[in-house]
Each structure stands twice: as structure tokens, then as C-alpha cells.
Amino acid sequence: MTGAWCTCPFIRLRCELAFNRGAPVLCDNPALIIEFTKLSDKPEYRVAVNNPTDQPIRTVLRQGIALPGFKFPDTPVEVPAGAYLVVAGG
């Protein structure tokens, strides 16, 4: 969390900026496409993977960064060639 004072002739505000750096979900195979979606204003998330290659991919998905309400245990997956799989959530 970083902050700065913003000033104008009539208003003095404390502006807060928060951001995360990195990917919420990671794996060790760069060919696998990981889709991470926040589903609503609540902490509801969906994790899906897409294998665009012509070979199956076997890997372990793991949480990369902490997000409010997002807990993702290490998850082994085997994604067939050309497949799209929803791994968690919606």
C-alpha cells in the first residue's frame, strides 16, 4: 500500500493505491494458458486452463499471490491436447 497527499484549493485528500504484482495462479509449463477470473464484487474466483498444443500437459497449479478470499491449494492437473478445463470456481 502506498499513499500520497493530494491537494487542491478546497480539498485535501489522502489517496491510497493498492496493487498486486504477479499472477494469482502459476504452473511450470509456459504452454498452458491459465485463466483467472473474479466473478463478482464478493471474493469469488474461477480458475480455468487451456492447452492449445497437440500434446497433453501434466503440471501442478499453485497459488502465486495472495488475494482476499482466494485460497488455492497446489492442484495437479492433466489437460488433454486442445482442452479447456475449469479447475476451481464457477
Q: Where are the domains of the chain?
A: 22-88
Residue 21 pLDDT level (bands cut at 50, 70, 90): low
Q: DSSP state, 55?
A: S
pLDDT in tens, 33-45: 999 988 888 888 9
Place of cell 500437459: 57
pTM: 0.73
> Taking 50 as the threshold, does the pLDDT of residue 5 lie above it?
no
pLDDT at 15 (0 to 100): 52
> For 9, left (φ over 0), alpha (ψ -120 to 50), or beta?
alpha
Which residues have CB under 8 Å from 49's CB, separation 6+? 32, 33, 34, 35, 61, 77, 79, 84, 85, 87
